Amino acid sequence: MNTFGKMFRMTTYGKSHGAEIGVIIDGCPSGLEVSLKEIQYEIDRRKPGQSLVTTQRKEKDKVEILNGLIDGKTIGKPIELRILNEDIDLEGYKELEYKPRPGHADFTCYKKYGDWYAFDKTGGRETACRVMAGAIAKKLLKKYAIDILAYSIEIAGIRSRKSYYKDFDLTKLERYKEIIESNPVRCIDEGAARKMENAIIKAKEERDSVGGIVEVIATRIPIGLGEPNYNKLSAALYFGFGSIPAVTGIHIGLFDRIRMHGSEINDRFYLKNGEVKTKTNYCGGILGGISNGMPIVASIGFKPTPSIAKEQHTVDLEKIEETTIKIKGRHDPCIVPRAVPVVEAMMSLTLADHMLLAGYIPKYL
Amino acid sequence: MNTFGKMFRMTTYGKSHGAEIGVIIDGCPSGLEVSLKEIQYEIDRRKPGQSLVTTQRKEKDKVEILNGLIDGKTIGKPIELRILNEDIDLEGYKELEYKPRPGHADFTCYKKYGDWYAFDKTGGRETACRVMAGAIAKKLLKKYAIDILAYSIEIAGIRSRKSYYKDFDLTKLERYKEIIESNPVRCIDEGAARKMENAIIKAKEERDSVGGIVEVIATRIPIGLGEPNYNKLSAALYFGFGSIPAVTGIHIGLFDRIRMHGSEINDRFYLKNGEVKTKTNYCGGILGGISNGMPIVASIGFKPTPSIAKEQHTVDLEKIEETTIKIKGRHDPCIVPRAVPVVEAMMSLTLADHMLLAGYIPKYL
Amino acid sequence: MNTFGKMFRMTTYGKSHGAEIGVIIDGCPSGLEVSLKEIQYEIDRRKPGQSLVTTQRKEKDKVEILNGLIDGKTIGKPIELRILNEDIDLEGYKELEYKPRPGHADFTCYKKYGDWYAFDKTGGRETACRVMAGAIAKKLLKKYAIDILAYSIEIAGIRSRKSYYKDFDLTKLERYKEIIESNPVRCIDEGAARKMENAIIKAKEERDSVGGIVEVIATRIPIGLGEPNYNKLSAALYFGFGSIPAVTGIHIGLFDRIRMHGSEINDRFYLKNGEVKTKTNYCGGILGGISNGMPIVASIGFKPTPSIAKEQHTVDLEKIEETTIKIKGRHDPCIVPRAVPVVEAMMSLTLADHMLLAGYIPKYL
Amino acid sequence: MNTFGKMFRMTTYGKSHGAEIGVIIDGCPSGLEVSLKEIQYEIDRRKPGQSLVTTQRKEKDKVEILNGLIDGKTIGKPIELRILNEDIDLEGYKELEYKPRPGHADFTCYKKYGDWYAFDKTGGRETACRVMAGAIAKKLLKKYAIDILAYSIEIAGIRSRKSYYKDFDLTKLERYKEIIESNPVRCIDEGAARKMENAIIKAKEERDSVGGIVEVIATRIPIGLGEPNYNKLSAALYFGFGSIPAVTGIHIGLFDRIRMHGSEINDRFYLKNGEVKTKTNYCGGILGGISNGMPIVASIGFKPTPSIAKEQHTVDLEKIEETTIKIKGRHDPCIVPRAVPVVEAMMSLTLADHMLLAGYIPKYL
């Protein structure tokens, strides 16, 4: 099934090697102003061919709004957004037929669906649909003053010196956004950014790939999103981030709490202008599965791209014999920079869904 | 909502300070032999008061089968399992009223539900219901030769020298199970186990608490559980583990892949007696969200128990003033050893659900 | 699956020939006062052995509240209600083994589940669980001034001269309730009631059974419950009533509209103290799937009870040969009078769910 | 929400007065051959402007396949079908602004969504999306030999002398299909068809409208679709048919059973070539919510079209005063003939979903 969300719901369709990809968004309240420009902006952040560190596959990725808006406003009906595929490069795939790429979904999709090209179901390109839908969710949250921001905090083992739990200033979000968009790895620490970029280029020259970690925050969250037990906001975020391809692990709040003492990591309550706040935010804005009003903080690990140009051992599933392959397509040597807008999208979609579930957003604005 | 699962579904009820807790399991095929002893065995592993490293709260935790079995076999109708609460200790709670414990759900539950005692919704005791339901799921999976095993791999910063990716022998699972049950921290490495135990006792003496990591594996999984995109088996596991209280992060496969190269971590396919296997299993048995037939491997981080005997700062939510509290209840100085059977339960429940979803288990056995 | 509802959700368990039956209600807001007496009252209306026209099977049907209430108020956690079975009469069933009763679920349950006693899954006794859960829903709706009332309008071909579209006075609901409970067929027209009673007794004497129609209304419904397309309030009611055993058809509003003209049945809008009302209510309170503020009206047809004492032809599914059976159990010669509280329950549960879905009821009262 | 189905799922989008309408079908197994011609055939049956008895609004209603098929076969990914709107006639609507049409969703949609044009959410034109998706479902069922057929059995009070329970011959389905398509009211009884046609034309001349009943059957259904309690196949059908606009009631099996005796309507089991069949089929192919292998039979009542050219009283919701309107659009004087393919679609979609749920259809063909 290709649907995500309960009350703010997207269904994605299309495939990377077909004519188009798209998304239907259902449950968005009517009366929300959304411009094509805003959606295109997010897609441009994700699109390939932006710099040396991303795939050289060139796609214009021009968003079209097919349904659900009138005079720039949502009308409470399904919204359809679409991108026509252009640079469809099937050449490299022909010689890989029945030879599953190590680390890819080729093997499992073929075994499950009995169709070699079923791997196309899982293509990273589907994440563009999430980014389009996420742009709508982000705009909706913005109406409630909620800001979403993601950035790389580690690539190829190089750590950023700036992350939520390290030398971070919430009042500088706008400045951070500028920096993030000004370097190809989307890191707030510009020194680390250069090193990360070099590490990616080096991996690429070696026909190899590297991984890393994206951190994401959401600010000005109302208290009370999520429920105890199985509808925890945290569980919903784990689920949403866990549905992004190439994820190896997810942390909510500071993972290193596991090595600290209770007395250190219990976020102390205090009063600020009559409102209850916590001094620290080790819990990442969620207590017992419910938002506590502090920023929500998560980090998501991405493995190195499995598609590498180096020769690799595999099995020919038709001939039932071992063989080798060289992947010729133009792939990202590191998925992390382009994963940043995808992570923002999943955070936005999950929060929009929970804002509706908790009754913070009405059916029409 | 208190329901987990799509086709193998549990609904939990009751609360830690009420008369009883229980679970209704719906969707279990008829004809499965289940004994009270098997369920009681799992509950005994989770119950408090087992050793110095767990809470001294004593609960007999006697499981009762109320519905859904005839002559020791499931009949395809809802199964109800229950535990009557005994050692209900409300004393310590009275003086905490309206003073949220730092790191607890007290604050968020009160804000969301307007009822101070709403925190009882999220109590760790609810996990006993999961363990009861998990025992049924485990038994069902066992019929399909699937084995589930969890164990501590890190506590208070002390790492086990034995974990799935380190000096592990899948043929020794039965021996590992014995070792795990023979030490109070449930660690395969007996040397590390002693150090972990000492670290917990030390934290307890200091009126403090520590955290750690549980690893869990599932063996002999058929190829093809899970779907691409949003019904990924991995996303379902993230969701299931993410619904356990006190979790700080979840890894599927080897998290450290983020610091390695694609050429290192792409699990190489080869043939073994005509079947396709992978040499390594860095992906943790899931490719593109679908099981690939290799063992499923996950690790789950737990924060130090927030309930500590040290004096802590907080806010009185009625008087709207800052104050301090000392928690007097008998709490685990480290939740990790007792989390082991809960992690096994969530793995079992998620896999049973996906075995049914993928059509590997019929409606009656 | 044994769960009904999205936000106000019940899961029923147990079986008619086991030790007990029960229901877990999840999603009920906290702070609702509910007494055992109120639930028992509804169960008493449904219980067997009340008069000559119902089955002579005697069950005390004593409701127990096991979970979810403190000091007579809901606490926002799952509520569990239970009835221990007493007059379990399995004698008659032994000789029916593998000989499906015509008109019963025996045959389909056996074919689907491979277990002769699987028919117990569908027993009418499960409806007692719905009545218990419905009593909570009814109480919740009552807080919002909503009144639910059902009554027989046709039995054995005898029509009541009083039904919503015939000589009905909404201001006399309390009087109607009294009349309904004062005759064994639950009909507002006392003359028709006597004829219906006689017809049922006659059918019983002939070892046969008869059917009829129950009408149900809900008053003071807010405008706006339900959504266009697939979450129509009407579709939810069709689904809810359609899940009651022995239903042959469901009408919402006046069915006979099919034989009238548009100009006759279009309910004309007018103003009453500044509020928009309709003169007539042929649509039964729902326009385009959404409540319009007028009373909701539905009628539900029930077939004659299939369990009759007359000899009937059937097939022995084990010996694969034709045979005959005589059903000896004590069955209702007409299910309609006891179906009245079940219909009220399904109306109450569906409306409570939609009041929550539409945001008319908060999480705590 | 605009989604129908659990495993065979459609999401519809667009609106009658916008640029396009369409549907995404998710969950259809891969490998199903579907031609544009087959889908277009069904749409042509539903499209307006076919004869004197339907609306004169002319729409070419040309179906486009946008996604999900390769070389005429499904690929296991979402299928998208679309129709561009052409004859968009908004003229008549301008003067109706804020004056709700009696019997329409105008009033409830405006009250719920605060937007006058929200009524467009419920437009009958959305049913074209269902017919497109239904064409795929029908084709899938055809692979399993299942045949779906609907036809008018009553219009304007005129009854057909041929319906499932009256002079019907299952071996003549193909002949019946021809007759149904050869008369504008889609009735098997050609004599009645002429009278129905005249009645509709007369109502139209009087600026009025009439209603009627559609019957639908599905043959060669396997035993075992549906579950007891809340996932009954019957409840799913009630829900599906109940989501069609203008429905006033739904019968499954023979509704008149309510006026017969148990001994008459209990379908007698017998053996036919070793297989268990029933002599009669009053239950309409479903016992206890589960299909029994006999044809499934349902009938659905439709009210007269509310849009009539006669002057009608209503309320101006902006000026808060009573007023009158005359609807100028070109509307069906009777919706029944065009509802026939919509009823077939909902039957097909519900059965396809249940065939998948019960495991009768694999993920790839």
Q: What is the pLDDT of residues C98-130, one digit of tens each?
A: 999 999 999 999 998 888 877 776 678 899 999
Domain span at residue A257 reads: 3-357
**Which residue has better confidence, B84 or A19?**
B84
D228 in B contact zone (CB under 8 Å): no
Mean pLDDT of chain D: 92
Residues of A in contact with B238 (CB under 8 A): 238-239, 241-242, 250
Percent of chain C whose predicted confidence (pLDDT) is above 70: 96
Model confidence at B59: pLDDT above 70: no
Closest Cα in chain D, distance from residue C225 (Å): 8
- Tell me: the pLDDT tens digits for C323-346? 999 988 778 899 999 999 999 999
Question: Average pLDDT for residues D352-359, to the nearest whole number?
Answer: 93
Residues 6-45 of A with CB under 8 A from B: 12
Q: How far apart are CA B97 and CA B90, in angstroms?
A: 11
Q: How many CB atoms lie within 10 A of CB B201?
A: 16
Residues of B in contact with D362 (CB under 8 A): 359
Tokens 């326009």 sit on residue = C287
The answer to whether residues A308 and B263 touch, using CB atoms and an 8 Å cutoff, is yes
Q: How far apart are CA D177 and CA D180, in angstroms?
A: 5
Model confidence at A288: pLDDT above 70: yes
- Tell me: the pLDDT tens digits for A189-221? 999 999 999 999 999 999 999 999 999 999 999
Reported confidence tier of residue A44, pLDDT bands at 50, 70, 90? very high
Reported confidence tier of residue D124, pLDDT bands at 50, 70, 90? confident
- Tell me: the pLDDT tens digits for C204-220? 999 999 999 999 999 99
Helix (H) or strand (E) holding A271: strand A269-272
Q: How many CB atoms lie within 10 A of CB C182?
A: 10
D2 in A contact zone (CB under 8 Å): yes
Q: How far apart are CA A291 and CA A289, in angstroms?
A: 7
Which residues, 6+ apart, have CB-to-CB distance to B71 below 8 Å?
none
A228 in B contact zone (CB under 8 Å): yes
Model confidence at D66: pLDDT above 90: no
Output Rg (C-alpha) for chain A, integer angstroms. 21
Question: Average pLDDT for residues B159-176, to the nearest whole number?
Answer: 97
Tokens 């006669």 sit on residue = D310
CA distances from A354 to A296, B250, C27, C76, D214 (A): 13, 22, 16, 19, 42
- Tell me: the pLDDT tens digits for D245-278? 999 999 999 999 999 999 999 999 999 998 999 9
C77 in B contact zone (CB under 8 Å): yes
Inter-axis angle of helices C127-142 and C36-46, to 10 degrees?
130
The answer to whether residues C340 and C180 touch, using CB atoms and an 8 Å cutoff, is yes
* Residue D262 within a domain: yes
The CA-to-CA distance between both ends of chain D, in Å, stands at: 30
A·D CB contacts under 8 A = 108
The CA-to-CA distance between both ends of chain B, in Å, stands at: 30
A274 in C contact zone (CB under 8 Å): no
Q: How far apart are CA B89 and CA B57, in angstroms?
A: 9
Exposed/middle/buried for residue A339 (C-beta within 10 Å: 0-12, 13-18, 19+): buried
* Residue A364 within a domain: no
Spell out the SS3 assignment of C34-55.
CCHHHHHHHHHHHCCCCCCCCC
Helix (H) or strand (E) holding C20: strand C20-26
Residues of C in contact with B9 (CB under 8 A): 1, 3
* Residue C364 within a domain: no
Model confidence at D54: pLDDT above 90: no
| CATH number of the domain bearing residue D248 | 3.60.150.10
What pLDDT was estimated at residue C92? Answer: 67
SS3 assignment, position C156:
coil
- Predicted-complex ipTM score: 0.96
Percent of chain B whose predicted confidence (pLDDT) is above 70: 96
Extract the runs of DSSP E, i.e. beta strands, from D18-175: 20-26, 63-67, 69-70, 73-74, 79-84, 147-155, 158-159
CA distances from C313 to B167, C2, D162, D276 (A): 69, 32, 29, 12
B289 in A contact zone (CB under 8 Å): yes
Which residues, 6+ apart, have CB-to-CB distance to B127 below 8 Å?
B46, B244, B245, B339, B342, B345
Model confidence at C51: pLDDT above 80: no
Tokens (6 digits) for D270: 């017998």
Reported confidence tier of residue A66, pLDDT bands at 50, 70, 90? confident
Q: How far apart are CA C163 and CA C243, in angstroms?
A: 24
Please tell me which of the candidates C250, C261, C290 has its beta carbon nearest to residue D203.
Answer: C261
Tokens (6 digits) for A311: 């020769």
DSSP state of C33: B
Poorest-pLDDT segment among A83-97, B137-151, B162-176, D19-33: A83-97
* Residue D365 within a domain: no
Percent of chain D whose predicted confidence (pLDDT) is above 90: 76
C66 in D contact zone (CB under 8 Å): no
Q: How far apart are CA A280 and CA A138, in angstroms?
A: 26
* Residue C146 within a domain: yes
Question: Average pLDDT for residues B62-84, to the nearest whole number?
Answer: 90
What pLDDT was estimated at residue A37? Answer: 96
What pLDDT was estimated at residue A42? Answer: 96
Nearest to A274 by CA among B322, B98, B96: B322
One-character DSSP codes across A198-258: HHHHHHHHTT--B-EEEEEEEESPPTT-S-SGGG-HHHHHHHHHHTSTTEEEEEES-GGGG
Inter-axis angle of helices D127-143 and D336-357, to 10 degrees?
50
Contact A287 B105 (CB under 8 A): yes
What pLDDT was estimated at residue C195? Answer: 98
Q: How do B247-252 and B296-302 pair as beta strands?
A: antiparallel
Question: Average pLDDT for residues B187-202, to the nearest whole number?
Answer: 97
Q: How far apart are CA B234 and CA A25, in angstroms?
A: 24
Which residues, 6+ apart, have CB-to-CB distance to A100 below 8 Å?
A106, A107, A110, A314, A315, A317, B269, B276
Q: How far apart are CA B20 and CA B11, in angstroms?
A: 14
The answer to whether residues D108 and C291 touch, using CB atoms and an 8 Å cutoff, is yes
SS3 assignment, position D154:
strand
pTM: 0.88
* Residue D362 within a domain: no
* Residue A106 within a domain: yes
Top mean pLDDT of B67-81, B95-109, C131-145 is at C131-145
Nearest to C108 by CA among C221, C245, C228: C245
Q: How far apart are CA B40 and CA B21, in angstroms?
A: 14
C-alpha triplet A222, A227, A231: angle, nearest 5°: 120
Which residues, 6+ apart, have CB-to-CB distance to A184 below 8 Å?
A50, A51, A52, A53, A54, A193, A197, A337
Question: Average pLDDT for residues D210-223, to the nearest whole number?
Answer: 97
What pLDDT was estimated at residue B359? Answer: 86
Poorest-pLDDT segment among B225-229, B287-291, C91-95: C91-95
Reported confidence tier of residue B58, pLDDT bands at 50, 70, 90? low
Exposed/middle/buried for residue C71 (C-beta within 10 Å: 0-12, 13-18, 19+): exposed
Residues of A in contact with D11 (CB under 8 A): 3, 11, 24, 26, 78
Residues of B in contact with D359 (CB under 8 A): 359, 362
Model confidence at B81: pLDDT above 70: yes
Model confidence at A57: pLDDT above 70: no
Q: Where are the alpha helices (DSSP H) in B219-282?
A: 233-242, 262-265
The answer to whether residues B228 and A107 touch, using CB atoms and an 8 Å cutoff, is no
- Tell me: the pLDDT tens digits for C222-241? 999 999 899 999 999 999 99
One-character DSSP codes across C75-118: -SS-EEEEEE------HHHHTTTT-PPTTSSHHHHHHHHS-GGG
The answer to whether residues B250 and B301 touch, using CB atoms and an 8 Å cutoff, is yes
What pLDDT was estimated at residue A347? Answer: 98
* Residue B362 within a domain: no
Say how many domains are in chain D. 1
Q: How far apart are CA D145 and CA D141, in angstroms?
A: 7
What pLDDT was estimated at residue C122? Answer: 63
Spell out the SS3 assignment of D308-348.
CCCCEEEEECCCCEEEEECCCCCCCCCCHHHHHHHHHHHHH
Chain B: list its partners (3+ Cβ pairs within 8 Å). A, C, D
Backbone phi and psi for residue A333, each to the nearest 5 degrees, phi listed first: -70, -15
- Tell me: the pLDDT tens digits for A126-165? 999 999 999 999 999 999 999 999 999 999 999 999 999 9
Nearest to C138 by CA among C360, C349, C359: C349
Tokens (6 digits) for C180: 């309904």
Exposed/middle/buried for residue C316 (C-beta within 10 Å: 0-12, 13-18, 19+): middle
Q: How far apart are CA D26 and CA D44, in angstroms?
A: 23
What pLDDT was estimated at residue B20? Answer: 85
One-character DSSP codes across D176-229: HHHHHHHSTT-BS-HHHHHHHHHHHHHHHHTT--B-EEEEEEEESPPTT-S-SG
D264 in A contact zone (CB under 8 Å): no
Q: How far apart are CA B60 and CA B88, in angstroms?
A: 12
Tokens (6 digits) for A183: 């370097």
